[in-house]
């Protein structure tokens, strides 16, 4: 089983290997299969919902000894997710300021006429 996981790490389409392993029930009860499948999915696709599903599926199938190890790996994943969310919350919202134009206003001397009171135009920066 470890051979297949190592093989998945060397091919261009590792998820085909994991899918084939699942279909043929290779490693179905093993911590190594679910942990590597989840970590590769997290690292290569960033499909966090799928990673969650892989861990939960594995926790239902692996034996008691492997369940403890897989649960620990899953807790590591949830901690990474909490950190990602906190990092997103801590980032300042970007300000969208159009710096390609400056605002200039000119006053004409004859402020009696309405159209000559104040003229504001957008002038391209040079």
Domains of the chain: 2-90 (1.25.40.430)
Phi, psi of 55 (to 5 degrees): -60, -45
Full 3-state SS string of 16-69? HHHHHHHHCCCCCCCHHHHHHHHHHHHHHHCCHHHHHHHHHHHHHHCCHHHHHH
Q: Which residue is listed with tokens 């897989």?
A: 70
Please give the Cα distance from 46 to 78 (Å, whole number): 14
* Tens digit of pLDDT at every position of the chain (126 positions): 778 888 888 888 999 999 999 899 998 899 999 999 999 999 999 999 999 999 999 999 998 889 999 999 999 999 999 998 888 888 777 666 555 555 444 444 444 444 443 433 343 444
Instruction: Classify burial at 39, counting beta carbons within 10 Å of its beta carbon; exposed 0-12, middle 13-18, buried 19 or more.
Output: middle
* The pLDDT of residue 122: 40
* The pLDDT of residue 97: 59
* The pLDDT of residue 96: 63
Q: Which residue is listed with tokens 């990474």?
A: 80
Among residues 30, 29, 5, 6, which one has the least CA distance to residue 18?
A: 5
Give how far the C-alpha of residue 105 lies from the chain's centroid of Cα atoms, to the nearest Å.
45
Whether the model pTM is above 0.75: no
Please give the Cα distance from 41 to 12 (Å, whole number): 13
């Amino acid at each position: 089983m470890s051979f297949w996981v190592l093989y998945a790490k060397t091919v261009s389409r590792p998820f085909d290997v994991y899918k084939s392993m699942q279909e043929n029930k290779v490693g179905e009860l093993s911590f190594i299969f679910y942990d590597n499948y989840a970590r590769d999915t997290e690292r290569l696709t960033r499909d966090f919902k799928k990673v969650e599903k892989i861990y939960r599926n594995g926790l239902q199938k692996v034996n008691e000894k492997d369940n403890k190890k897989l649960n620990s790996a899953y807790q590591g994943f949830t901690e990474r997710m909490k950190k990602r969310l906190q990092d997103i919350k801590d980032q300042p919202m970007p300000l969208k300021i159009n710096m390609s134009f400056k605002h200039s206003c000119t006053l004409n001397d004859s402020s009696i006429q309405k159209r000559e009171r104040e003229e504001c135009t957008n002038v391209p920066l040079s």
